[in-house]
Structure 1
Amino acid sequence: MVSFFLTWIVAAVSLVITANIVPGIAVTSFPAAMLAAVVIGFVNAVVRPIITLLTLPLSILSLGLFLFVVNAISLSLASWLAGAFSIGFAINGFWPALFGAIVLSLVSGLIGRFVNVGVEQ
């Protein structure tokens, strides 16, 4: 249970850092980032596998590079859902979503490595 909350906090912190790095991504506060992390987790768990399966031929033809576009679509969908529920998370366009997806995965990976050093599994 502790690792779930730790992962959730890492995702929220990563989202705040990404919003500060990538222009076009806005997070109003840390509680908004925590709620946005839940929405992103939901989209990644439910919608992203379906999109990945439907675009599998494009991913194979592009040697996996189309998965960056799938990640951008997932992040844009999470932003749209967050806007529908009045969560303070917004992405303005495709390019910020694409760069944001790349930066978010890098930042969360880096923070995750540092946080998991002291956690026993």
Structure 2
Amino acid sequence: MVYLTRKEHFNAAHRLYNPNWDEERNQAVFGKCANPNWHGHNYDLYVTVKARPHTETGFVFDVKRLSTIIREHIIEKLDHKNLNEDVDFMKGKMCSTENLAIEIWKQLEPHIPAGVQLHCIKLYETPRIYVEYFGE
């Protein structure tokens, strides 16, 4: 099995808060991330697929096609958006990086063709903080 990773980038704003809590508890748990005026990140997204290289091309998957899938189904929906308000697949969910990675997986998986498997979503929120999701 060979693993192929494509890196993409997007910018987005969000607010971490639980509407069932008062402002004091939200501030205690989420700190600056609970700012009612939002805050933003420069996200780096790594999408890893796996397969055996195709005998005729030597490719696991065409990286241009992978980039197109990621851009069409993820980047265009997230870049320069408010995750809490503008992104349909994040509606009603806590907009943590952990949940965003899970939802990105759910958006991409149906578009990965047979013979290739989605292996990992790695999402950097900052240069020092990232999450990895490997599916259920």
With the shorter chain as reference, the TM-score category is 0.3 to 0.5
Q: Whose Rg is larger?
A: 2
TM-score, reference length from structure 1: 0.39
Higher strand share: 2
Higher helix share: 1
